[in-house]
Amino acid sequence: MKILGIESSCDETAAAVVCDGRKVLSNEISTQIPIHTLYGGVVPEIASRKHVERITQVVDLALRKADVSQKEIDAVAVTYGPGLVGPLLVGVSFAKAFAYANGKPLIGINHISGHISANYIASPELKPPFLCLVVSGGHTHLARVKDYGVYEVLGRTVDDAAGEAFDKVARAIGLGYPGGPKIEKAAREGDKDAIDFPQAKVADHPYDFSFSGLKSAVLNYLNHQKMSGEGISRNDVAASFQKAVVEALTGHVSMALEEFGEKKFALAGGVASNGALREAVRKACEEHGVSFYCPDPILCTDNGAMIAAAGYHEYLKGTRSGLDLNAIPSLSL
Amino acid sequence: MRILGIDSSGLVASVAVIDDDVLLGEFTTDYRKTHSTTLMPMLDQLIQMLGIPLSSIDAIAVAAGPGSFTGLRIGAATVKGLAYALSIPVIAVPTVDAIAYNLYGSRRLICPLMDARRQQAYSGLYRFSETNKFIVRKEQTPESIADIIERINIEDLPVTFLGDGVPVFKDFIEKNTTVDYDFAPAFCNRQRAGAVASLGRLYFNKEFYTSAEEFRPVYLRKSQAEREAEERKKAGSGAGGYNA
């Protein structure tokens, strides 16, 4: 069964064809990062305009590279939230019209569920149940995956997403956008124990995350150094900040592994590309005798294949969306 | 030739199918619902009611802009999905032109007003010749209502106002217009896909059309971020010494 997956929730226009939810026939991503870099972050109106300009070409490329005709597609899956409403509406509107004109079923997909489903592509043997940490520019979720598309959210961020903290700190130390890869690169040259940044705990909700305190601590540190005339080492700040984020995330992972005794753990989302995080979570899993799963970076970033993979399992469950499918920017997992 | 017309540029959502000189059907709503939930169901109901296969559509005419950025994009992405799937051309019809075209045969000047916020309207000036040729006297553009009315007063010809900007600027119009003016009635004073499709047919005959890939909405305004960046550039050029 071949599913066309369409994703446009932020700054990547993406489409893919995936066979049986596991095998990627094509995975086209048109990124807008160079445009948004000029503004230091994603500008929703510009992102929306670029999606409109690119969506047809990206879908067409995905079909061509997969060597699949429109008629051979069995269903169309599309991200309808969470994300930026303008960008989401482009993918949703296109997908509805395309599915309708081809007489194909339409399936609205939760973006976070898509990230988690990238693991089914990367690890064909992986089946629920397992534990999963989704970390990206907009999301930080620790969840139990009880079945395909069935989640119990253990914790989420109460303020900034982990990736958002990366972006803000990168901007503050002059590394620019996107923050994730730039911090990671700088951190490799820095001393992660140079500065002791605090990790916030969320009272009464041990699995929730908070990153705004850490971000403020970094900003305060930068300010203090400036006021006292002392310089900063960008690399040390990057390394110490990254260590604090990774420890906060990994601490929650270890706690969940102990409490729930799942034998499998998966990482997902754009920040899952971060080498330090991958290694720390892998180690935590090893210590608990738990199998560790994580997609390649190309499947961690926003992409259509993960949406098609999630769409496959929804299709099997009978999930169908109507022509009134709307974008829901704050859709929860 | 069968043309599907679509307009989601403003508060109105409208779809229509014309077959040469016949309007087979039109579905227009103007009742505060988001286009993303109405446009496709309206199209589906229209096509079902007509009992025609979607594949019998030869081209899609769309109100390409200006208008609400989000509304234009919902229309554009919908049209792209349809036109790509059906392998048919897209006819980009200027939104303000299509609103004016509602008043076919009028002997007065036609001045559509779309509320563009910030005390501006997307407007243009149109008339029909003695032989009912559609004449664009002033191309659609965002302008202050004061400038629009001043130009009309200078034209010194009777004028009909229409569009969703009328209720917004009615007081100003009534106070400042010195020529004979009136307001178009309910059935023809807003966006209508039938007009978009009819005007689209004229454009198509002049081979003025594009593809699903190439079609882009006509916003007539840059995004706020781009405008601010340009202003900063203007203000900041020559300041020098800035070091990131």
Tell me what pLDDT residue B237 has.
56
Closest residue on chain A to B218 (Cα) = A49
Q: Are residues B6 and B87 in the same domain?
A: yes
Percentage of chain B with pLDDT > 90?
89
Q: Are residues A45 and B223, on separate chains, in Cβ contact within 8 Å? A: yes
* Residue B228 placed within a domain: no
CA B188 to chain centre: 14
Percentage of chain A with pLDDT > 90?
94
Tell me what pLDDT residue B234 has.
84
The confidence band for A38, taking pLDDT boundaries of 50, 70 and 90, is confident
> Do A3 and A27 form a contact (C-beta atoms < 8 A)?
no
Residue B58 CB neighbours (<10 A): 14
* Residue B227 placed within a domain: no
Strands B59-65 and B134-144: unpaired
The confidence band for A228, taking pLDDT boundaries of 50, 70 and 90, is very high
CA A246 to chain centre: 16
Tell me what pLDDT residue B238 has.
44
Closest residue on chain A to B45 (Cα) = A323
B84 lies within 8 A of chain A by CB:
yes
Q: What angle do CA A194, A195, A199 make, to 5 degrees?
A: 135
pLDDT tens track for A177-194: 889 999 999 999 999 999
Tally of structural domains, chain B: 2
Supply the Cα-derived Rg of chain A in whole angstroms.
20
* Domains defined for chain A, CATH in brackets: 2-117+299-317 (3.30.420.40), 128-294 (3.30.420.40)
> Do A328 and A22 form a contact (C-beta atoms < 8 A)?
no
A248: tokens are 């906060």
Mean per-residue pLDDT, B141-163: 97
Tell me what pLDDT residue B141 has.
97
Q: Are residues B216 and A52, on separate chains, in Cβ contact within 8 Å? A: yes
* Residue B232 placed within a domain: no
Q: Are residues B10 and B124 in the same domain?
A: no
* Residue B158 placed within a domain: yes
* Residue B225 placed within a domain: no
pLDDT at residue A129 tops 50: yes
The confidence band for B240, taking pLDDT boundaries of 50, 70 and 90, is very low
Return the minimum-mean-pLDDT range out of A90-99, A309-318, B11-20, B29-38: B29-38
Tell me what pLDDT residue A177 has.
86
Q: Are residues B85 and A326, on separate chains, in Cβ contact within 8 Å? A: no
* Residue B183 placed within a domain: yes
N-terminal to C-terminal alpha carbon distance within chain B: 59
Q: Out of B34, B38, B81, name the one closest to residue A94 (CB).
A: B81
C-alpha span between B143 and B113 (Å, rounded): 10
Closest residue on chain A to B41 (Cα) = A323
Mean per-residue pLDDT, A48-74: 98
Q: Are residues B183 and B216 in the same domain?
A: no
Tell me what pLDDT residue B232 has.
86
The answer for A42, left when phi > 0, alpha when psi is -120 to 50, beta otherwise, is: beta
Restricting to B residues 24-43, those with a Cβ less than 8 Å away from any Cβ of A are 34, 36-41, 43
Q: Are residues A70 and B36, on separate chains, in Cβ contact within 8 Å? A: no
Q: Are residues B74 and B153 in the same domain?
A: no
Q: Are residues A97 and B70, on separate chains, in Cβ contact within 8 Å? A: no
CATH number at residue B36: 3.30.420.40
B114: tokens are 């779309």
> CA torsion sign, A91 to A92 to A93 to A94?
positive
Q: Average pLDDT, whole number, for chain A?
A: 96
Q: Are residues B36 and A91, on separate chains, in Cβ contact within 8 Å? A: no
**Model's pTM, two decimal places?**
0.95
A1: tokens are 């069964």
Q: Out of A46, A85, A324, name the one closest to residue B223 (CB).
A: A46
Q: Are residues B77 and A93, on separate chains, in Cβ contact within 8 Å? A: yes
- Where in the sequence is the domain holding B166, given as residue range(s)? 103-188
* Residue B236 placed within a domain: no
C-alpha span between B85 and B93 (Å, rounded): 21
Q: Are residues B73 and A48, on separate chains, in Cβ contact within 8 Å? A: yes
Tell me what pLDDT residue A74 has.
98
Tell me what pLDDT residue B124 has.
98
Q: Which residues of A touch B225 (CB under 8 A)?
A: 39, 43, 45-46
> Do A90 and A55 form a contact (C-beta atoms < 8 A)?
yes
> Do A121 and A24 form a contact (C-beta atoms < 8 A)?
yes
* Residue B145 placed within a domain: yes
Residues β-bridged to residue A23:
A19
Of B148, B166, B188, which marks where a domain is finished? B188
B74 lies within 8 A of chain A by CB:
yes
Q: Are residues B73 and B144 in the same domain?
A: no
Q: Are residues B14 and B29 in the same domain?
A: yes
Considering only the C-alpha atoms of chain B, give the largest distance between any 2 of them, rounded to a whole number of Å. 69
A-interface mutation test, from B8, B9, B34, B40, most A Cβ less than 10 A away: B40
Tell me what pLDDT residue B32 has.
79
How far off is chain B from A15, nearest CA to CA, in Å?
13
Q: Out of A46, A52, A99, name the one closest to residue B226 (CB).
A: A46
> CA torsion sign, A314 to A315 to A319 to A323?
positive
Q: Are residues B87 and B11 in the same domain?
A: yes
Q: Are residues B42 and B156 in the same domain?
A: no
Q: Average pLDDT, whole number, for chain B?
A: 95
Q: Which residues of B touch A91 (CB under 8 A)?
A: 77
| Nearest CA-CA partner of A299 in A136, A90, A88 | A136
C-alpha span between B203 and B210 (Å, rounded): 11
Q: Are residues B80 and B150 in the same domain?
A: no
- Which one has a higher pLDDT value, A117 or A261? A117
Q: Which residues of A touch B69 (CB under 8 A)?
A: 45, 48, 86
Mean per-residue pLDDT, A241-264: 96
How far off is chain B from A213, nearest CA to CA, in Å?
25
Q: How many CB pairs under 8 A join A and B?
A: 109
Q: Are residues B203 and B86 in the same domain?
A: yes
Tell me what pLDDT residue B244 has.
32
* HEC letters along B54-115: HHHCCEEEEEEECCCHHHHHHHHHHHHHHHHHHCCCEEEEEHHHHHHHCCCCCCCEEEEEEE
* Residues of A at the B interface, defined by Cβ within 8 angstroms: 38-39, 43, 45-46, 48-49, 51-53, 55-57, 59-60, 70, 85-86, 89-102, 174, 322-327
How far off is chain B from A5, nearest CA to CA, in Å?
14
pLDDT at residue B69 tops 70: yes
C-alpha span between B202 and B88 (Å, rounded): 17
Mean per-residue pLDDT, B219-231: 91
For the beta sheet containing A75-81, the strands, ordered from the edge strand earlier in sequence to the opposite edge, are A23-31, A12-19, A2-7, A75-81, A106-110
Mean per-residue pLDDT, B239-244: 36
Tell me what pLDDT residue B241 has.
35
B198 lies within 8 A of chain A by CB:
no
Percentage of chain A with pLDDT > 70?
100
ipTM of the complex model: 0.95
Three-state secondary-structure class, residue B244? coil
- Which one has a higher pLDDT value, A40 or B242? A40
B3: tokens are 């043309």
Q: Out of A56, A89, A327, name the one closest to residue B84 (CB).
A: A56
Q: Which residues of B touch A56 (CB under 8 A)?
A: 80, 84, 212-213
Q: Are residues B84 and B133 in the same domain?
A: no
Mean per-residue pLDDT, B130-139: 97
Q: Which residues of A touch B244 (CB under 8 A)?
A: 174
Q: Are residues A101 and B223, on separate chains, in Cβ contact within 8 Å? A: no
Q: Which residues of A touch B34 (CB under 8 A)?
A: 326
How far off is chain A from B97, nearest CA to CA, in Å?
23
Q: Out of B73, B82, B224, name the one closest to residue A97 (CB).
A: B82
Q: Are residues B91 and B20 in the same domain?
A: yes
N-terminal to C-terminal alpha carbon distance within chain A: 25
Tell me what pLDDT residue A91 has.
98
Q: Which residues of B touch A49 (CB under 8 A)?
A: 73, 217, 219, 223
How far off is chain A from B132, nearest CA to CA, in Å?
36
The answer for B87, left when phi > 0, alpha when psi is -120 to 50, beta otherwise, is: left
C-alpha span between B155 and A121 (Å, rounded): 67
Mean per-residue pLDDT, A260-267: 96
